[in-house]
Amino acid sequence: MKTYQNEHLMVEVDCSIHLLQQTWIGLPSSENFRDGSLAILALAKRHQVKRWLIDLRQLRLFNPTDLHWFIHHWLPQAHSGVVLPQHARVAIILNDLNQFGKLGSDMLLRASGALNDSLTSRYFVESEDPRQWLLINPYLIF
């Protein structure tokens, strides 16, 4: 179910498994990045998201100013609003592990992990299936 879309972002939520999927496209303007990120925050709160699937295959790169805003404004809101609950999982899909989107993702994941040390994340390339990994019960992992 498509729940939010702008020129550079499409967001879908699967309420039955508490999964939010975001697909980034092109080079988002700051307005589209921030509006989309705030929409994601609201949807994650409303649907008690525990699994995040972030598709960056069509993303050209993140703007460093937007990454700074995300780390210093969005993440604290997410943490205080329990949008990143204990044992949340984040899967990021890339074309390959050397693309520019990975640099921004690394920064965001490090900042997220500093606020929530039980957050688990993993990168995937196109041929892999991140949904299987996202559905693993984190309480069964040793």
**Cβ neighbours around 52 below 10 Å, total:** 24
Q: Is the dihedral of CA 10, 89, 94, 127 positive or negative?
A: negative
User: Percentage of the chain with pLDDT > 90?
Assistant: 38
**Residue burial 27-49, b: 16+ Cβ < 10 Å; e: rest:** ebeeebbbbbbebbbebbeeeeb
The distance of Cα 54 from the centroid of its chain, to the nearest Å, equals: 5
Residue 104, helix vs strand vs coil: helix
Question: What backbone torsions phi and psi does residue 6 show, to the nearest 5 degrees?
Answer: -135, -170
Contact 128, 94 (CB under 8 A): no
> How many Cα atoms within 13 Å fall on the side-chain side of residue 100?
10
pTM: 0.84
pLDDT tens digits along 101-113 = 666 677 677 776 6
**Architecture of the domain defined by 2-135:** 2-Layer Sandwich (3.30)
pLDDT tens digits along 28-80 = 999 999 999 999 999 999 999 999 999 988 988 788 899 899 888 988 888 77
User: Which helix (H) or strand (E) segment is 58 a member of?
Assistant: strand 51-59
The whole-number pLDDT of residue 30 equals: 95
